[in-house]
Structure 1
């Protein structure tokens, strides 16, 4: 695949080399023809374009030279004139039935043979595969959707003419952010989105979010991914300051120019830890905080029953995520989808999926930020944990005292409950030793349920303490499992809380912590 500059350079070389058959892969016919017209004027060669709506026209003068709109009529006209004149180029942008050996592909093949003898060139603009025998007669070139640099030009070309006519609040940073959001859309899609925003009579900084929403609607049904709706008003994360500070730095890199430093965009983060401590919530929080769409990739659902089906589904889903960029890709409980990579009980499918996923992580240049979560770290393939796959590996532990206090207060405010006294709040923090975030949420929710049933007057310190004592956390029902997870996290991951473990041989499993400077 190539951006506009690379595509134009390569196509120019093919025209000059008189390649007899050129297949141009693109869904943007108008954008391809715009480049072809520029080349026709720059190197001064005759180029004719055939379409079902206009027949054959001279691309430089826009005058019709053949009224026959059928593909067969256009090919006959091309063969006739190629046999009479040297170095003619004909571009066909609406040709079907070229995948197999049939009358249409044979007709094109005969035309290409004639072009070889007279220095002519036949070009097809298509998104389909081409009959192999025909394809081997020439070369293939593809045109990507506009990248950020080209999209910046598109954005400015659309907006700048209205300067002075309508209020425009955007500065250079906003133009670049708009280009980042709209990148990987087609030119006409981006122009339509921008025109819709300006139709209200102004362009404000808040419209950047609307651009993201408009793009999100275009990719809401992309293959292999599930769109996750987010309500920012219900999303808050407490006790994960280390993770939040790291994410703030990564957000700045999302719109920074990294090419000069030969750096790729932020790739993502792997979150491991105790169940119920906010790993999945963190993925939603990132998407809401960064104003980006969130897509969920379910690796377990991608598995197919036929050989190669799972790998193809994964490839299509990751390609869809690239097209939707910039976005957040959430892979929940990644170890379940890749469990066979260690057990080797699925005929090697999981191993191939791991390889394909890691290759995409390493090579993709799209601004897709991956948030993967895992509970059972023993099932994770070792190669997934190697430095460089994800940007960072965070461990989300059971919340400490101050973190539990923050989480309790967060859910009390969210559920509109009366704040307990400081003495009882301290008692709740003490009672909730070993609670995960979900346990704390459940305890406060029990209080809110009583308030709904019996009225807010029933909410008192005694009710808070009773509801908290009724919760039996996972750390007590499955202590061996939780201890194993925490031991792994202390040795291999960065603490998401922003504090580090400092455990001696006689420490309990909860350990002691010190602030990381």
Structure 2
């Protein structure tokens, strides 16, 4: 059932029960009034609406019954009529200063007391909290922005009437994809985006990308998150075929009907492994490949100095990510933000932040695909690694021989360099044993710098060899640390390379994991 249907059913019961005070939480006044008008006609009760621009009018006939546009004047009119007639309902759309004990709140309170005595009802459409003493006289109901089910109706109602006048290439799957993209936007925002696309005289499958861009602009400055710009032409991932294969299957689940099987959308992936091997690059690659906006959540940056501030900032940031869905949420080096969960030096802030994040990770149903990266897994709280938090745990190891060859050729091509001889290429592959992807990138970048300084003719096999031999990889400067990371990953995670860890007896005894094809 869509949120609007649930809202309508609940509001209908409250009106039939003659609840004296109803606070309606919503940022979409127009949608709320649409439902109220429908209920006024269906259950045949008089409902009057007050606004600062029209005064008080009958919601069914639109006939104005009181020209006083002030809130105080509207309340006086409502109280006077409620005292004279039974079962009247008045809806106020623009009331401010109701959070505390003040003149406005007291005025409404007195009106609700009159409503209790005469079977009336006073409703407020607001996004603010209500003075507690007033709220205890009634009930609260919320109308959220359209979910996918309701947004599908909005999309079709907006597009299908123009099917005979403009070219529309969308099929049923495209309508569902559009609904998925526009979900969590307001109805008017979605209608404006669709109308803008149709204004050019057609609606093509490529316009789905424009829907993503339009929504991205609306949420580009959401609190707690940093929008990451992506240049798809510069994004290529070499050597992570296992991860890429798994991601292709997850991409299909974004548009599949999962409700019948009681499955939730893909939740995300945790990438652990050696620093510099492409974990962070993978987040950008996924966003570009799936054509979704990428937001970065910096857990360290949301830390506050006051009690509860960090947790509130994290809650707001995660709520913003839900509103921006579908999107990719990138959490780089997650262990730095969620480590120390057992430490008491921070007053329990780490523990509460971990709890907040895990609850959202488990319960949120928004299509937010998380790409979390970690270098030192030992610092992560064990409950984060439990099955069901993330969809999968991948280990990004140092590249093997074939992977190093692909990475070398990738960066040579990207930097527009002349290729080394086949013999030198093989030698570079041997020299780069123990290199991370960032080490190889650095070596090729040194070659490119010399090409800029001295010209392309300066690039030869000797220069390639010299630049590669100048690199001292992390695997040699901190071998114990790197080996500890590799040992952990081989025993507990899937290989991102897609290559099995091995076929020896020791491998089978350790029960090393493999990708399900």
Map residues 384-395 of structure 1 onto 2, 5 A cutoff: 384-395=384-395
Matches of 2:324 and 2:467, distance apart in 1:
44
- Determine helix, strand or coil for the equivalent of 1:301: coil
Q: 1:44 to 1:140 in 2, by over 3 A?
A: same
Matches of 1:505 and 1:375, distance apart in 2:
28
Q: 1:514 to 1:454 in 2, by over 3 A?
A: farther
Residue number in structure 2 paired with 1:348: 348
- Determine helix, strand or coil for the equivalent of 2:69: coil
Residue number in structure 2 paired with 1:417: 417
- Determine helix, strand or coil for the equivalent of 2:65: strand
Residue number in structure 1 paired with 2:52: 52
Shift of 1:450: 1.1
Which 5+ residue runs of structure 2 have no aligned equivalent? none
Shift of 1:218: 0.4
Matches of 1:503 and 1:163, distance apart in 2:
59
Map residues 300-449 of structure 1 onto 2, 5 A cutoff: 300-449=300-449
Cα deviations by residue, 1:208-238 (Å, 9 ceiling, x for unpaired):
1111011000001101000000000000101
- Determine helix, strand or coil for the equivalent of 1:125: strand
Conserved? CA contact 2:230–2:284, under 8 Å: yes
Matches of 1:426 and 1:311, distance apart in 2:
52
Residue number in structure 2 paired with 1:122: 122
Cα deviations by residue, 1:59-108 (Å, 9 ceiling, x for unpaired):
00011000000001111111111111111110000000100111111110
Residue number in structure 1 paired with 2:225: 225
Cα deviations by residue, 1:320-368 (Å, 9 ceiling, x for unpaired):
0001000000000000011221444322111110011000000001110
Residue number in structure 1 paired with 2:70: 70
Residue number in structure 1 paired with 2:273: 273
Q: 1:82 to 1:231 in 2, by over 3 A?
A: same
- Determine helix, strand or coil for the equivalent of 2:205: coil
Matches of 1:291 and 1:164, distance apart in 2:
30
Conserved? CA contact 2:495–2:514, under 8 Å: no
Cα deviations by residue, 1:284-343 (Å, 9 ceiling, x for unpaired):
001111111100000011111111111011000000000100000000000001122144
Conserved? CA contact 2:2–2:147, under 8 Å: no
Residue number in structure 2 paired with 1:497: 497
Shift of 1:195: 1.0
Shift of 1:417: 1.1
- Determine helix, strand or coil for the equivalent of 1:213: helix
Q: 1:84 to 1:515 in 2, by over 3 A?
A: closer
Matches of 2:259 and 2:483, distance apart in 1:
44
Shift of 1:33: 0.2
Residue number in structure 2 paired with 1:19: 19
- Determine helix, strand or coil for the equivalent of 2:97: coil
- Report the TM-score when normalising by structure 2: 0.97
| More off after superposition, 334-343 vs 48-57 | 334-343
Q: 1:21 to 1:179 in 2, by over 3 A?
A: same
Conserved? CA contact 2:22–2:122, under 8 Å: yes
Shift of 1:243: 0.5
Residue number in structure 1 paired with 2:182: 182
Matches of 2:61 and 2:141, distance apart in 1:
26
Residue number in structure 2 paired with 1:33: 33
Matches of 2:27 and 2:228, distance apart in 1:
27
- Determine helix, strand or coil for the equivalent of 2:239: coil
Conserved? CA contact 1:88–1:119, under 8 Å: yes
Which 5+ residue runs of structure 1 have no aligned equivalent? none
Conserved? CA contact 1:87–1:120, under 8 Å: yes
- Report the TM-score when normalising by structure 1: 0.97
Residue number in structure 2 paired with 1:160: 160
Measured on the aligned residues, the alpha-carbon RMSD in Å equals 1.7
Matches of 2:252 and 2:143, distance apart in 1:
29
Conserved? CA contact 2:494–2:513, under 8 Å: no
Matches of 1:104 and 1:311, distance apart in 2:
33
Conserved? CA contact 1:95–1:124, under 8 Å: yes
Residue number in structure 2 paired with 1:112: 112
Give runs of ≥4 in structure 1 deviating > 2 Å. Answer: 342-345, 502-507, 512-517
Shift of 1:164: 2.1
| More off after superposition, 174-183 vs 494-503 | 494-503
Matches of 1:342 and 1:406, distance apart in 2:
43
- Determine helix, strand or coil for the equivalent of 1:90: strand
Cα deviations by residue, 1:466-511 (Å, 9 ceiling, x for unpaired):
111111100001101100100110111111011221276999xxxx
Shift of 1:422: 1.5
- Determine helix, strand or coil for the equivalent of 1:313: helix
Matches of 1:490 and 1:225, distance apart in 2:
33
Conserved? CA contact 1:2–1:142, under 8 Å: no
- Determine helix, strand or coil for the equivalent of 1:76: helix
Shift of 1:2: 7.6
Q: 1:442 to 1:250 in 2, by over 3 A?
A: same
Q: 1:503 to 1:435 in 2, by over 3 A?
A: farther
Conserved? CA contact 1:499–1:515, under 8 Å: no
Matches of 1:15 and 1:54, distance apart in 2:
24
Conserved? CA contact 1:342–1:379, under 8 Å: no
Matches of 1:17 and 1:410, distance apart in 2:
69
